[in-house]
Amino acid sequence: MGRYIFLIFGLFLASLETSAQQAVWNQRYQDYFDTYKDVAIEQMLKYHIPASITLAQGVLESGAGRSELTRKANNHFGIKCHGWTGRKSYHDDDELGECFRAYDSAYESYQDHSVFLTSSKRYSSLFSLKQTDYKGWAKGLKACGYATSPTYASRLIEIIELYKLYRYDTEHHVDKYQLEQVRHQGGILRQVHEFNNNYYVVARKGDTFRSIAEDVDVSYRKLAKFNERDKNDVLEEGEYVWLQKKRRKAPKEYKGHIHYVKNGESMYSISQRYGIRLKNLYKMNDLSPDYIIRVGEPLRVR
């Protein structure tokens, strides 16, 4: 009888441990995906690695962008040196003081992750899988030795399914705006992204509505109007510039979603992030145009 009770108690503890290990939604992960989904989709279009896999690996390996390796070396995927001739960073991992690749930006880390997978024979079998087979990719990465954790594949799958990252593997399609490359500007490609039934580009350093207009074939006056700005404004690097009139609210999948104000954000920058008209963002939150938002304040976007 004593053994039986002990067995039941052991099973109970095991079930608690399993439940505790299950993925639970948190805002930090969602913020990470919101920040890097466009880069992951761009890499998918170029290298045929599912965007869902790239995002899940990135958030897991980087601790949602907060690990020491990510903060100090912009390394989002835990890729070690392995003959790397670029900048290096040393951190404790399986052994003390291991050598990791260091990058000048998160974008470089995402780009190198794609090159790392596509250029290695170890991972060549993955590219026979369908781009939508995120489960096959997750299990394949574990089988090929990307990570030593026995639960690596299941953790990737849990993250992808909890945050519905698989939608990024199928929603992106090419149409009159949605192209891998729009036009050469001094040899640099300008990427057009789709969100909220609309299209946008990300401003580069020194961009103006005029410089973007030349690339996307939309009047600079219209671009300024669509983005609720003066036509002569100088844009900040990283700003979203919408190519059509913004919508009244965020997409359907954001129903019930709450945006918590971060340091440095304004009502305008939040409206740009979601492709929402500024007056509508104020209206749906019952705020007056002169209201000053505070860090941590919750805002409805739909």
The CATH number of residue 210's host domain is 3.10.350
Q: Residues 73, 165: one domain?
A: yes
Q: Residues 157, 190: one domain?
A: no
**pLDDT(5) > 80:** no
Q: How confident is the model at residue 300 (pLDDT cuts 50, 70, 90)?
A: very high
pLDDT, greater one: 92 or 239: 239
Give mean pLDDT, residues 250-256.
82
CATH label of the domain that carries residue 265: 3.10.350.10
Q: Residues 238, 261: one domain?
A: no
Domain stops at, among 110, 136, 169: 169
Helix (H, G, I), strand (E, B) or coil at 87: coil
pLDDT, greater one: 83 or 159: 159
Give mean pLDDT, residues 259-278.
92
CA distance 136 to 144: 12
Q: Residues 84, 143: one domain?
A: yes
Q: Residues 41, 148: one domain?
A: yes
pLDDT for 135-194, tens place per residue? 999 999 999 999 888 999 999 999 999 999 998 887 544 333 344 444 434 444 567 777
Q: Residues 34, 63: one domain?
A: yes
Would residue 4 count as lying in a domain?
A: no
CA distances from 76 to 5, 148, 173 (A): 46, 17, 26
Cβ–Cβ < 8 Å for 255, 225: no
> Whole-number mean pLDDT of the chain?
83
| pLDDT for 175 | 39
Q: Residues 89, 190: one domain?
A: no
CATH label of the domain that carries residue 101: 1.10.530.10
Q: Residues 289, 207: one domain?
A: no
| pLDDT for 7 | 41
Give mean pLDDT, residues 210-238.
91
Q: Which residues contact 241 (CB under 8 A, 6 or more apart)?
A: 200, 201, 202, 203, 207, 209, 212, 223, 227, 235
**pLDDT(54) > 50:** yes
Q: Residues 71, 131: one domain?
A: yes
Give mean pLDDT, residues 227-231.
96
Q: How confident is the model at residue 225 (pLDDT cuts 50, 70, 90)?
A: very high
CA distance 89 to 75: 9
**Residues of the chain with pLDDT > 70: what percent?**
85
Q: How many domains does the chain have?
A: 3
**pLDDT(102) > 80:** yes
Q: Which residues contact 37 (CB under 8 A, 6 or more apart)?
A: 51, 55, 168
**pLDDT(2) > 60:** no
Give the type of residue at 53.
Answer: I
Cβ–Cβ < 8 Å for 125, 54: no
Residue with tokens 């170029």: 46
Give mean pLDDT, residues 26-36.
89
| pLDDT for 11 | 41
| pLDDT for 226 | 96
| pLDDT for 22 | 57
Q: What domain range includes position 125?
A: 27-169
Q: Residues 235, 258: one domain?
A: no
Would residue 83 count as lying in a domain?
A: yes
Residue with tokens 């991992």: 93
Would residue 211 count as lying in a domain?
A: yes
Would residue 14 count as lying in a domain?
A: no
Q: Residues 133, 164: one domain?
A: yes
Report which listed range, 37-51, 170-184, 232-246, 253-267, is most confident: 232-246
The alpha-carbon radius of gyration of the chain (Å, integer) is 22
Q: Residues 214, 292: one domain?
A: no
